Amino acid sequence: MRIDLHTHSTASDGTQSPADVIASAAQAGLDVVALTDHDTSTGWAEATAAADREGLRFVPGVEISCLLRGVSVHLLSYLHDPDDPALVAMLAESRSSRVGRARRMVERLGPDTGLSWADVEAQVHGPATIGRPHIADALVARGVVADRDEAFATLLSGRGKYFVPQTAPDPLEAVRRVTAAGGVPVIAHPAASKRGSCIDDGEIEAMAAAGMAGLEVDHRDHSDAERAHLRDVARSLGLFVTGSSDYHGTGKRNLLGENTTDPESLQRIDALAAERVVHPA
């Protein structure tokens, strides 16, 4: 069984619709795929219908943008209640913050690149919340950079003069809200040092104590040494591990199924979600 638990669609910063992501997953030989758009579940219904047509199992998810001591932490949530009021409110706040941040970055970029907010809006398809990937696509369209990778490595880098930090929830609070909503939280690419600063082992332990259940270990942004270390951390904390593509269509070079999750880890996700379902009295 081939399982990929981290993909993105046009509901956030991917370049394919939710249905097209599922179709591409089927073509890639996947049996199970999760859609984990940033801070939104708007693609779930379309993905569910597409998975039924393609004969795949669909796992609904979200990638929640968090901050801890200024370090970006991405939390994957699987099988939560999309209508849980506290979680819905947190995700809405994150989306609003992302738009404000994007506007400020475009204002900084404009004088040097000619970039306008209209240029960025032209890169958004469907209900997606505008973020840095859409700014990157607008820079590509203007011929300022060759692709998203160059944009993030230069103009949109967290170390550059155009960067604006995002207001985002604390990951411990995010973990608590996910579990309260019946979901299963997993840290996405926790040791991806090429992206910038990472949380340390003590912070991972604190998230585990708050209810975080797994670590995304097999990811293209992790070196072999980082993967080995994360497996040791997961083992010591009793966490399961996952492997995923972090697919964004043509927005990134990541390929569906380039890293996969063991069926045993998916069984753990299913079991934890089943335990957390709140049955009406």
Residue 227 and residue 192: Cα distance in Å, rounded?
A: 10
pLDDT given at position 196: 66
Interacting residues of 177 by C-beta distance below 8 A, sequence separation 6+: 84, 86, 87, 90, 169
More confident position, 129 or 182: 182
- Report pTM: 0.90
pLDDT given at position 278: 59
Strand partners, 74: 65, 188
Which secondary structure element, helix H or strand E, spans residue 184, and what is its range?
Answer: strand 184-188
Rounded to an integer, the average pLDDT of 125-150 is 90
Check pLDDT > 70 for residue 281: no
Rounded to an integer, the average pLDDT of 27-51 is 97
| Residues 152-204 pLDDT 10s | 999 998 888 999 988 899 999 999 999 999 999 999 999 877 666 788 999 99
* Mean pLDDT for the chain overall: 93
Would you say 102 and 131 are in contact if contact means Cβ atoms under 8 Å apart? yes
pLDDT given at position 36: 98
**Which of 47-56, 225-234, 257-266, 269-278 has the weakest average pLDDT?**
269-278
Percent of the chain with pLDDT over 90: 82
Check pLDDT > 80 for residue 269: yes
**pLDDT bracket for residue 66 (50, 70, 90):** very high
**Which of 60-64, 87-91, 125-129, 208-212 has the weakest average pLDDT?**
125-129
Structure tokens at 149: 């990778």
Residue 225 and residue 231: Cα distance in Å, rounded?
A: 10
Residue 131 and residue 119: Cα distance in Å, rounded?
A: 13
Check pLDDT > 70 for residue 77: yes
Q: Angle 224-237/201-210 helices, nearest 10 degrees?
A: 40
Domains in the chain (CATH in brackets) are 3-92+166-276 (3.20.20.140), 96-153 (1.10.150.650)
Q: List, edge to edge, every strand of the sheet that includes 3-4.
A: 3-4, 32-38, 57-68, 71-78, 184-188, 214-218, 240-243
Residue 248 and residue 136: Cα distance in Å, rounded?
A: 13
